[in-house]
Structure 1
Amino acid sequence: MSLNQVELEIENLQKELMECSNNRKIEIEKEIKELEKSYKHLSPYDHVYLARKKTRPNVKDYIHHLFDDFIEFHGDRLYKDDGSIVGGIGMLDKQPVTIIGHLKGRTLEDNLKCNFGMSSPEGYRKALRLMKQAEKFKRPIIAFVDTPGAYPGIEAEMHGIGEAIARNLKEMSTLKVPIITIVIGEGGSGGALALSVSDRLVMLENSIYSILSPEGFASILWKDQEGKRVQEATSLMKLTAQDLYEAHIIDQIIHEDLKGATVESYEVYRQIKEYLKENIKELQRLSTNQLINKRYEKYRKIGQVF
């Protein structure tokens, strides 16, 4: 039984619990506890399900709980403002920082405004504009990744999505300020990479980070158009936080609640804030040359693994 089916079953039992007799209540509570054990033994596809849940905090929730006096900036100064990338300046306690992240909505209306978290070239150019500004004023950069991938539409191709992503990778590799990236949900393809060339790469426990979606992987590898082999593809892709930590691609895992992070997961916010404060201080002790060289060595080592 998949985790999605488990949650539906728990939801039905909880509804029944409201109207049943005392004897039946005891039985139902036992059934719910038994079903909740599934959260302790998650398959890779269960992590994909949790990473995509609408109840997870999005970048605006993290900004609200982690930073003070946030001022959002808009536009790439070339064409338009992309709602799928949120960026601006805020205070991490007394430390001014630049914050950039993918935005996913929770309703259809919100998702239409932010294109379901799939960024256009203008979004990545906005992100780069903010990163270059951060470098100019010596502000650390904190990036939040949550995207199924960059927008694959014709307009994005016409406006240079490949170039925009490639330029971000190039420029981030030599930025003279600390960069910390946190994968908070989906980290898909080049759309995620465009905010991920950082000194520290961190994932939430139930987030995922991969070259493409499991559905896309199954479609390419097995011509699977009906999604019958998506779970198999997920297992092969090694996209969970634990997989990537063991492969030395990410630096730390932020633990979540048993049933996954929600907007009210205050312990998750606390862990992230402590990690940011500690690691920004550590990175700021390095000289500019040390910072850039260590970043270069980090990705050279990852490249050698593969």
Structure 2
Amino acid sequence: MPTTERKPLLLDFEKPLVDLELRIEQIRELASDNGVDVSEEIRRLEARAMQLREEIFSSLSPAQRLQLARHPRRPSTLDYIQAISDEWMELHGDRRGSDDPAIVGGVGRLNGQPVVMLGHQKGRDTKDNIARNFGMASPGGYRKAMRLMDHADRFKMPIITFIDTPGALPTVVAEHQGIGEAIAYNLREMFRLDVPIICAVIGEAFSGGAIGIGVCDRLLMFEHAVYTVITPEGCAAIIWKDASKAPQAATALKITSWDLKNLGLIDKIIPEPIGGAHSDPIAAASTLKQALIQNLDELSQLSGSQRKQMRYQKFRQMGKFAEMSN
């Protein structure tokens, strides 16, 4: 997990809380300088700060959850892999001449069990984000992911994927190299794998870029993550010809973990520390690890054919609708 101390980035809805915490710190410093006992006042303000934090983060709008999902300090795939794995060795290349840094993956151990872990990887700063295409994978990235999943299936290792992308790489070169075909191929092939597959949405998950590594037996999702077919900005630009209506689109798209759980599209919501995963990455990773181990234990009790049948039925149920007669 990141250990370098950085100045926290402030989201709009966090400002009242940050102002209160700053006031507490100022009172504490003044009391120390002047030898005044203000412990009772500090306790009262700290209790109010905790209450305010709970109020803010328990009533976020879909647009505000989207801000949290995109927070630059939110833990990434590599952060989680390094925090939850006993051992980890990254593997590179799609064996077709490409090694897309927007998708990382390799072999590791989770609770002592060999597993293959892979996922989208964003950068920590502008330079790193440009190098990793802001987590938007090219065709080579999805082919690398599929190569690693085939490796897992061959050696009977469960697969864990971490989804965090604004979408697949939307360039002419990616289209020329077959981005649609690469994603479609992954969708088909992931259904045939015998080993358990668990996917975790750790940030933003949009469009085919997300589902390209998202076919699974169990779909987990962090509390403040988001998942849908298109970014709210893209949806607003198409529907209203106005990207500023993205908050309205975010609500209509049902992008939050609670919306998706109610719709039956995800299996489990992973709670985050109050303030979001970036406020306490170690605690977020610990909760994620426990959920992965529990679900992996349950899936390991089933045969490969049972898992494949469940996987098929799981996705057949998505998008199911009924027509109402007049």
Q: When the two structures are superposed, what TM-score results if normalisation uses the length of structure 2? A: 0.86
Sort the Cα spacing of 1:66 and 1:34 in 2 relative to 1 into closer, same or farther, 3 A.
Answer: closer
* Structure 1 residue 286, shift from structure 2 partner: 1.6
Map 1:151-170 to 2 at 5 A: 151-170=169-188
CA distance in 2, matches of 1:257, 1:280: 23
Does residue 5 of structure 1 match 2:12? yes
When structure 1 is superposed on structure 2, of 209-218 and 13-22 the one drifting more is 13-22
* Aligned-pair Cα RMSD in Å: 2.2
SS of the residue corresponding to residue 302 of structure 2 reads coil
- Percent identity between the aligned chains? 45
Q: What is the distance in 2 between the residues matched to 1:282 and 1:18? A: 47
Distance in 2 of aligned mates of 1:194 and 1:291: 19
Distance 1:142 1:7 in 2: 33
Structure 2 counterpart SS, 1:191:
helix
Name which of 163, 168, 185 aligns with 1:145. 163
SS of the aligned residue for 1:286 comes to coil
Q: Assess if the C-alpha contact under 8 Å between 1:145 and 1:184 holds in 2.
A: yes
- CA distance 1:267–1:12, change in 2 (3 Å): closer
The answer on 1:46 being equivalent to 2:64 is yes
Between the aligned partners of 2:217 and 2:85, the Cα distance in structure 1 is: 20
Q: Counterpart of 2:73?
A: 55
Structure number with larger C-alpha Rg: 2
Number of the residue aligned with 2:7: none
Contact kept, 8 Å, 1:71 with 1:88, in 2: the verdict is: yes
How many correspondences in the alignment?
301
Q: Which residue of 2 aligns with 1:206?
A: 224
- Look up the match of 1:235: 251
Using the TM superposition, give the Cα deviation of residue 303 of structure 1 relative to its aligned residue in structure 2, in angstroms: 3.3
Q: Deviations over 1:46-89 (max 9, x none)?
A: 11011000121111111111112211011111121100101000
State the TM-score, normalizing by the size of structure 1.
0.91
Distance across 2 between alignment mates of 1:281 and 1:12: 45
Aligned to 1:293: 309
2:106 aligned to which of 72, 85, 88: 88
Does structure 1 conserve the Cα–Cα contact (< 8 Å) formed by 2:138 and 2:179?
Answer: yes
1:101 match: 119
Whether 2:258 is the aligned partner of 1:248: answer no
Deviation at 1:263, TM superposition (A): 6.9
Report the alpha carbon displacement of residue 291 of structure 1 after superposing the two structures with TM. 1.3
Given residue 227 of structure 2, which amino acid in structure 1 is its aligned partner?
A: Y
The runs of 5 or more residues in structure 2 that have no matched partner are 1-9, 32-37
1:277 aligns with 2:293: yes
User: Which residue does the alignment assign to 1:74?
Assistant: 92
* 1:247 positional shift: 0.6
